[in-house]
Every structure is written in structure tokens, then in C-alpha cells.
Amino acid sequence: MASLLRVLVVDDSAVVRQGVLALLQHVPGMVVEVASDPLIAKQKMKSQRPDVILLDLEMPRMDGLTFLRELMREDEPVPVVVCSGLAGPGSETAVRALEEGALEIIAKPQLGVGEFLRESRARLVQALRNAARARSRLVRRGTPVKEEPERPERLERPERPPLSMLTVTTDIVVAVGASTGGTEALRQLLERMPPDCPGIVIVQHMPEQFTSAFAKRLHELCRIEVKEAEQGDRVQQGRALIAPGNRHLRVRRTGGHYQVELMDGGRVSGHKPSVDVLFQSVARAAGENAVGVLLTGMGEDGADGLLAMKEAGAETLAQDEASCVVFGMPRAAIQRGAVDEVVSIRGMTDAVLRRARRARVH
């Protein structure tokens, strides 16, 4: 029999606590406790340590961000899923929570909480399970990471298809997909990018409106421009475009340049935006003039798309298991034979730039 998954809900809203409790108490293998603020949560954790915490950020006596920082400094940090409001300041605080170690964000609307939770039951359950599975990957904040020599794993690559007129351009597109744990991985990848790096397009699984705050925060930290993608934005050197939450992003060719196209529609590979949608479009539009990168995340979104990119002649990379919070997406791509090279997140920027130089000479 599988072990129980113990969830602690920390939220000052009685409506939210009751709604989540009603929603999750009948999920097989899941046991739910609630606390109205972090101080009560601390007391409950003394008798029974949870496997995952669903945390509100705006609470009396101690705010959620302070509580999260304390959790992440413990010897055995508890995985945290943030439940945050969509308002501007709330979304910015939620992005800071991801920097502090939270693994996922669940958007909490201002009205209709009960109805929202019922509609989002499957997504909430999956987020909690994903976070709990990542527990062994969490590192106590303030613990120095041991530096080890980079030893990229090189995988066999089939011969390239013939060059077509579609790929005759000097522009290179770097397409990146990420999910659970991806916000930190993306920060490490983009912070090291030089101002003249190739144009980058990104799908990070994240709720609507949080992507704008996430892009803004990365822009503050990086030497390159980082922005939430808008319809018709050009993919160009020194710029990274992040797909808005709840919109698919495709890349299309216009003459010798590339632009992004935003679309509505259903979920693809279980997500919107979908990494597969991005990668498939880059395979068609850029062919050999592209580098595909699949980072940490649960599930298989991006695996088929990365294979399409490789078959179109693109260079393809995946994050290694040791540096992933969740190895699901990279593993699925590797198993499909879609990956040229497996690299730790520390070495990913250099690997992308090296592969981009290779793509340029094609």
C-alpha cells in the first residue's frame, strides 16, 4: 500500500481552508490538515511533519514569505505550493516566493473561491503531488552547493537532413521549455547569457498573469532583455520572450526574421501554454537554425516537440537528473531519442551558446 501524502493548508481565509479540505479529503492516499496562520502551522508541524504545504502569502501575525524562508532554511525543507491572489503586488510576491524555494503557484481568485477550487481540483492535486515527489531534491537555503567538473553526457545524433531554403538565415532561435522547478533553472540559464546571445523563446508552466511578474523579475536580474511575449514580438539577439500564462506561443518565419504568435485553444500535452506547441512551431519555422532546451518538469510536455526539432536538424539539450527538481520532461525526451546532450543547469548556458554557434554555420 502506498504511503499517505500529508498536506498542510496554511491560509487565513476560512473559505479557502474549508474549500480545500472538502476538495482533497476524499482524494485516495491524501490526508489534509489546516492552519489559519504560520504560527499555528508551526505548532502542528511539531507533532506531524507534512509532506507538502499549500501556502497563502498574505496572512496576519507572520506573512507567508517569511514562513517560507524559515522552512527553506531547515535541515529537511518541506516542499511548498503557493496559493496566491492575481493582483499585481500579489503576483510579484508569488514570484519572489519561487525564488525563495516554492515549487509551484496556484492562482487564487478574489471571488468564487469554492467554484474555482472545484474546477481546479485535478490541477491542485497534481501540483501537490509533484511538489511532494520533489522533496528529496530540495536543498536547504544557505547550504553551499559543491562544485563538480562539468561532464556533459553526449548522445548519438543521426545525420542531418539536407538544407532547405527555409533555413537560409543567420538568425538563431533558442526554444526553452520548463515546468516544476523551472523558474530557478531559467534564472540560472538567463543570468549567464551575454547581451549578444541568440533570441530566446520560453514556455514555463505558470498561471495567467504571473508570467508578467516573472519576466519583469528576470529582466531585473539579467544582462539581456526579458519580457512577457506580445503578439508579433520579434525574436532577436539579446532578448528572451516568455509565453503568457493561458496562451500558446508559436514562432513563425517572416522573411529572414522570426516573430511570435500567441493563440488561444485547448490544452496540449496537458498544458497551456504547451512546450510541444512551441517546439513544433520552431521545428517548422527554423529547422537547423535552432537550439531546443528542455528543463526540469513533471510529465512529458516538450518531448515530442523536441524530437520534431531534432528531426528538423536543430541542436537539442536536456537538463540532467542531478540538477532537476523533477526529471520527468527531460527523461521523456531522452527516452524518445530527442536529445543530443544532457547537461547540468550550471553548464546549460555555455552548452546553448556552443550549440548555437554550431547551428549558425549550417
CB-count exposure of residue 126 (10 Å: 0-12, 13-18, 19+): middle
Cis peptide before 109 (omega within 30 of 0): no
- The residues near 70 (Cβ < 8 Å, ≥ 6 apart) are none
Active-site choice (179, 212, 274, 344): 179
CA distance 46 to 239: 47
How many C-alpha atoms does 97 have within 13 Å on its Cβ side? Answer: 31
- From 205, 233, 281, 323, the catalytic residue: 205
DSSP H stretches of helix in the chain: 14-24, 38-47, 64-72, 88-100, 113-119, 121-133, 182-191, 210-221, 275-286, 303-311, 328-335, 348-361
Spatial contact of 212 and 206, defined as CB atoms under 8 Å apart: no
Catalytic residue among 301, 304, 320, 340: 301
3-state secondary structure at position 186: helix
Using CA atoms, how far apart are residues 207 and 98, in angstroms rounded to an integer? 13
The conformation of residue 243, written as its DSSP 8-state character, comes to P
Residue 353 corresponds to which amino acid?
A: L
Distance CA 89, CA 335 (A): 41
Cα separation, 295 vs 306, whole angstroms: 11
Classify strands 257-263 and 248-254 as parallel, antiparallel or unpaired.
antiparallel
From 362, 182, 354, 340, select the one nearest 275 (Cα to Cα): 182
Note if 212 is an active site residue.
no
Distance, CA of 186 to CA of 131 (rounded, Å): 18
Query: How many Cβ atoms from other residues are within 10 Å of residue 336's Cβ?
Result: 14
63 is annotated as an active-site residue: no
Which residues are tagged catalytic? 179, 205, 301
